[in-house]
Chains A and B, each alone.
Chain A
Amino acid sequence: MKEIFQLMFPGLMLMWMFFNAQNLMSDVFIERDKKTLFRLSASTVTTSQFIISKILRVLVVCSISEFLLIGFTWLVFGVNWGNPLWLIVVLTSCNMAFIGIVAMIYSLTKSLNAANGMATAFILTFSILGGSLMPFEEMPSTMQSIGAFSVNRQGIMALHSLMENDDFTIWLYASLRLLVIGTALTALASHRIYKRITAGEML
């Protein structure tokens, strides 16, 4: 049972953290709807500070949740997660990728409902194709070819290679890819949200 748990849990954890990131990022729209963003804009808080704090919030909450889960599963189920330092690197890069994708979705949509719907669709698609819900190796080759590019697959691959003490290049390159994608998308999304707030669209 422990082996199956160890095989399935990283993918499930990443999927639910993806949903967590979506939930937290939706706060940008919620603050708009509750008019708190309007009040913040009238204060000394700049738009950049507001956006950076939101992104950092998602990063911190997701990281805390992941480490609580990792600690719990290590203690209770004896799951071996590998070197803690490299684990921090892998999870931070996964979180950045999640933030980048959901931030991009929320920066492109006009309403909270549309953003939530689109984000859910993206997350489920990435999760299914990436092997969060079923073992990636059991999927047809066509789906594997597509799923290999999903952020979930890269994250699961990195976590499994850490857990099995594999060649460090596997998790390192996967983390770098996730970090680059996440950083690029976050920067782009932040720029779009900044433009929309300063243009008064989100006030």
Chain B
Amino acid sequence: MKSMILHLLLKDLSRDFKNPTGLIIMMILPVLVALLISSTFSSNNQEGTPSITIHIAVLDLDDSFLGRTILGMSNQNQDGGNIIVHQVDSEDEGLRMLENRRASAFLILPENLTKDVLDNATATIQIYKNPAEQMMPEMVEKGIDIFATGVSQIVTLIGDELKIVRDMVEEDKFPDTWTTAMLVYRGMNKMESFETYFFPVILQMETVDAKDFVPSASRTISSGGGS
């Protein structure tokens, strides 16, 4: 019986290996697909971390501190992420960049943005998201949202001091020593109320490689940190 089974098996195997095209295709496909996926999501970064480049078109009608801060965001991200800001001269130019898929988002910084923020008046940054993309425009929107929230909170905290700094910068003379000292003193006093949030830091971030990733079901959460 065993020899008959072996005989039938060898007959079928010889048939398979005489025409192995189907088998070879079945073997090549997983390698190809895995290569495609891994090269799509990998990078040329030497540290092996993914590199994402976000192109943002910006129309700066403010031409002041906040506008220059946003324009200066280019290539300041660490860990392989790149932000490239393209300054445009008109709304049409920015929208054309979106249509030609040269930018993921288009920001319009309104006139007197910095002045309005410092004067606690409402200022609106317009954002046009590229409809052909999903992830990058969302990242830009979230980034601007965080920026706007952060700036609003900073102005609430030390808005008066910032106005003094702005006035000092706009004056065409060397700043007064006493005014500068009082400015620093008042600013530090206000910052002291936030000391417990920064020392030690309550929320920390840690980058983990994919191979070290532990699924959430098996992760144990340890309580700790200051109150």
- State the CA gap A53–B211 with chains docked (Å): 41
Asked if B34 contacts A65 (CB within 8 A), the reply is no
Main secondary structure of the interface of A (DSSP, over half): helix
Q: A1-B42, A65-B26, A137-B216 are in contact. Are A60 and B13 (CB under 8 A)?
A: yes
Chain A, residues 9-20, CB within 8 Å of chain B (1/0): the string is 100110111011
Q: A9-B34, A69-B30, A69-B31 are in contact. Are A57 and B12 (CB under 8 A)?
A: yes
The listed residue (A5, A16, A53, A68) touching B12 by CB distance below 8 A is: A53
Does A27 reach chain B (CB closer than 8 Å)?
yes
CB-CB nearest in chain B for A59: B9
Q: Is B121 an interface residue (CB 8 A)?
A: no
Instruction: Determine if A61 and B8 form an interchain contact, defined as CB atoms under 8 angstroms apart.
Output: no
**Is B30 a contact partner of A13 (Cβ separation < 8 A)?**
yes
| CB within 8 Å for A12 and B209 given contacts A49-B4, A53-B8, A65-B27 | no
Bound form: Cα–Cα A46–B4 in Å: 9
Q: Which of B27, B30, B41, B215 is the one whose CB lies under 8 Å from A9?
A: B30
Is the C-beta of A122 less than 8 angstroms from some C-beta in chain B? Answer: no
Whether A4 contacts B210 by the Cβ 8 Å rule is yes
- B132 at the A interface (CB under 8 A): no
Chain B residues near A49 (CB, 8 Å)? 1, 4-5, 8
The digit string for A144-162, where 1 denotes a CB below 8 A from any CB of B, is 0000000000000000000
Q: Are B38 and A8 in contact (CB under 8 A)?
A: yes
Give Cα A73–Cα B113 distance, bound, in whole angstroms: 57
Task: Assess whether B48 is interfacial by the CB under 8 Å rule.
Answer: yes
Q: In this assembly, does A120 line the interface, its C-beta being within 8 Å of a C-beta of chain B?
A: no
- Please name the residue on chain A nearest to B12 by beta carbon: A57
- Shortest C-beta distance, B134 to chain A (Å), equals 15
Interface residue? A201 (CB, 8 A): no
A50 contacts the other chain (CB 8 A): yes
Q: Are A5 and B38 interface neighbours, CB within 8 A?
A: yes
C-alpha spacing A8/B209, complex, angstroms: 15
- Chain B contacts for A27, CB-based, 8 A: 12
User: Among the listed B4, B5, B29, B42, which residue makes an inter-chain contact with A16, where contact means beta carbons less than 8 Å apart?
Assistant: B29
Segment 6-44 of B: residues with Cβ below 8 Å from A = 8-9, 12-13, 16, 22-23, 26-27, 29-31, 33-35, 37-39, 41-42
Known: A16-B29, A49-B1, A69-B27. A8 touches B34 (CB 8 A): yes
Q: Given A8-B37, A137-B215, list of 12 further CB < 8 A pairs?
A: A2-B38, A3-B209, A3-B210, A3-B211, A4-B41, A16-B29, A53-B9, A60-B9, A61-B16, A72-B31, A73-B31, A137-B216
A-B contact pairs, 29 of them (CB 8 A): A1-B48, A4-B37, A4-B38, A7-B211, A8-B33, A8-B34, A8-B38, A9-B31, A12-B29, A12-B30, A12-B33, A12-B34, A13-B30, A20-B23, A27-B12, A44-B4, A45-B8, A49-B1, A53-B9, A57-B9, A60-B9, A60-B13, A61-B16, A61-B23, A65-B23, A65-B27, A68-B27, A136-B215, A164-B211
